[in-house]
Amino acid sequence: MIDLSIANPDNISMVELNRKLIAEKNLNVLTIKKIQKLHFLKNKFIKKMELTDNNRLLYILGQIITTIEFKLQALWGFDLDISYHKFFTLPKCKCPKLDNFDNVGVKNAQIFATNCPVHFLQDETKKNCINKLL
Ligand SMILES: [Zn+2]
């Protein structure tokens, strides 16, 4: 039987991929391995976010994680849909938690805080780059 655990940078495996969903989606071993690798990378980047207060780095890591989330949706055979991303759970994110949690899966209902270093570039231009993600 294939190992479905998801490794994290601390080498403590706490989560396993959903065996029933894997069967339902008829995922092959190669796809499962890719999903595990992406979860590992995501956990690694989340750890980096926890350890930095550099706004530019937080923003870049947030974008990388969004890309990983889309890749995961594709590998699982889901539509690429940002409304299912739990972006508000990322470290240092200042976007509203409860309202966004209620809106998971609801199109165009995500609420971003302009002072969030993860989802808005906090530089002198104050340029809103979130539209590039949507
Ligand atoms: Zn945020």
CA of 116 to the centre of ligand 1 (A): 5
Looking at the DSSP bridge assignments, the partners of residue 15 are 6
The predicted model scores a pTM of 0.84
What distance in angstroms lies between residue 118's CA and the mean position of ligand 1's atoms? 5
Measured CA to CA in angstroms, residue 7 lies from 15, 40, 60, 108, 126 at distances of 8, 6, 23, 32, 36
Find the 3 Cα to ligand 1 centroid distance in Å: 33
pLDDT (tens, 9 = 90+) of the chain, 134 residues, equals: 788 888 777 766 678 899 999 999 999 999 999 999 999 999 999 999 999 999 999 999 999 999 999 999 999 999 999 999 999 999 999 999 999 999 999 999 999 999 999 999 876 444 555 555 54
Q: What residues does each domain of the chain span? A: 5-132
Q: Is 88 exposed, middle or buried (0-12, 13-18, 19+ CB in 10 A)?
A: buried
d(CA 79, ligand 1 centre) in Å: 23
Distance 42 CA to ligand 1 centre (A): 16
Distance from C-alpha of 38 to C-alpha of 22, rounded to nearest angstrom: 16
**Cα dihedral sign, 43-47-52-53:** positive
CA 129 to centroid of ligand 1, rounded, Å: 12
State the distance from the centre of ligand 1 to the C-alpha of 81, rounded, in angstroms.
17
Site of tokens 């808005």:
120
For residues 52-72, one letter each, b for 16 or more C-beta atoms within 10 angstroms of the residue's C-beta and e for the rest, the string is eeebeebbebbbebbebbbbb
